[in-house]
Structure 1
């Protein structure tokens, strides 16, 4: 009588990991274990722990993995275009969920959700990007638009264009947002100066600038909270 083939070692590991998630909740899992659970669905017949650990080692954090371009993801052994596509879809779901949260409530009354959204959208951008959140009279989001896209340390933004767009959208208030690809969210002299220029340009139209948020891997800095505007 022939001996039945042994099941691969990773099958039992998958069952245990899935059980841990279901009985103890996702917070009981380490970062690479969360990645494993995701990869288990995308790669059904392979040990995915080495792939999860390789992703974590290369990019350093879950947010960096989700923000990574496809061309970088597929450099990791075991990650092909299909897995990379699924990871990008998860990243987009995360971004849209964050955006929905701030769309449904006044932005300035759901500040933690706004900070999370800004961090998700911008902390891993490799080029500086200047965005504006246009708000209505109830401080609800009308639009989130890129007003300047630049290099690793500069994104041009033109005060006249900001004012024109705010009037077109009938915005009553703005929140300025940009990132520092260096990772350090400390405001520069230029950041402070452009903020004050925009405030002065919008003042005759009774359009308020609530804040200027600077995002980096080191966190998010509010110029208002820092007493700089």
Structure 2
């Protein structure tokens, strides 16, 4: 039986070099372009607060300002940071937002979307590295953090499979299907076929509910039973099925559904 934890995400700590965004663009000095002093001072204060207290000392919109400094070096980015937080709910929601949704917000162009996507990708790589090739039992909280970071703020359903070897070490993590806001097609035969290709001994199924509520539907339960029957016929165990919501997850194992 896989361990479970209380709902909620632990804070991911990521270091960024924020010192160089005030360098003059090529030709800017000759053209007389300079950063206004009130913006320069505000940015310096934010950097110092981050240096002194870290991410915990700053609200989401201020962390987002720090990230926006490079993409928009010569403007006050506080209004944009607040618009993005208002639109997507929190910093995690902003980082998970697709580029078209980001650029639809006034003041957020392609450079902003690309920079935020890069930060999100780096954070996902960091959390994934904490669980890949490690025993799931000893890294369960890290695995849940990875699932939340990867899936909690998606606007459509995604179905992932975590493949484990005989020692319950995570050997692969793969997206199997994408769907709509309330449905994702999953084919038990394809799940089992991939498990056999990877020589996996056990699986953990994971999908998200874009509504934010991780309560299993009858379709979720039926789909899990179908995959379990197909897998167990070939000696492959289903350790758990996790449904990821916005701020918490549901474990089929903990709920007695497996």
TM norm structure 2: 0.82
- Of residues 14, 29, 39, the one that matches 2:58 is 29
Question: CA 1:162–1:21 in structure 2 vs 1: closer, same or farther (change >3 Å)?
Answer: same
Matches within 5 A, 1:38-117: 38-117=67-146
1:176 partnered with 2:205: yes
Question: CA 1:198–1:6 in structure 2 vs 1: closer, same or farther (change >3 Å)?
Answer: closer
Q: Give, in angstroms, the shift of residue 7 of structure 1.
A: 4.7
- The DSSP-based 3-state class of the residue aligned with 2:130 is helix
Question: CA 1:199–1:45 in structure 2 vs 1: closer, same or farther (change >3 Å)?
Answer: same
CA distance in 1, matches of 2:54, 2:183: 43
CA distance in 2, matches of 1:152, 1:17: 37
- Of residues 158, 161, 183, the one that matches 1:129 is 158
- Of residues 215, 234, 238, the one that matches 1:209 is 238
Q: Give, in angstroms, the shift of residue 141 of structure 1.
A: 2.0
Which structure has more RCO (C-alpha within 8 Å, separation ≥ 6)? 2
Larger mean Cα displacement after TM superposition, 114-123 or 198-207 = 198-207
Q: CA RMSD in A?
A: 1.8
- Structure 1 segments of 4+ aligned residues over 4 angstroms from their partners: none
TM norm structure 1: 0.92
CA distance in 2, matches of 1:103, 1:200: 26
Q: Give, in angstroms, the shift of residue 188 of structure 1.
A: 1.1
Q: Give, in angstroms, the shift of residue 107 of structure 1.
A: 1.9
User: More helix by proportion, 1 or 2?
Assistant: 1
CA distance in 1, matches of 2:50, 2:156: 37
- After superposition, the C-alpha distances for 1:95-150 in whole angstroms (9 at most, x for unaligned) are 11111111142123211111111111111222222211111122222222222322
CA distance in 2, matches of 1:64, 1:78: 18
CA distance in 2, matches of 1:172, 1:219: 27
Structure 1 unpaired stretches of 5+: none
Q: Give, in angstroms, the shift of residue 206 of structure 1.
A: 2.2
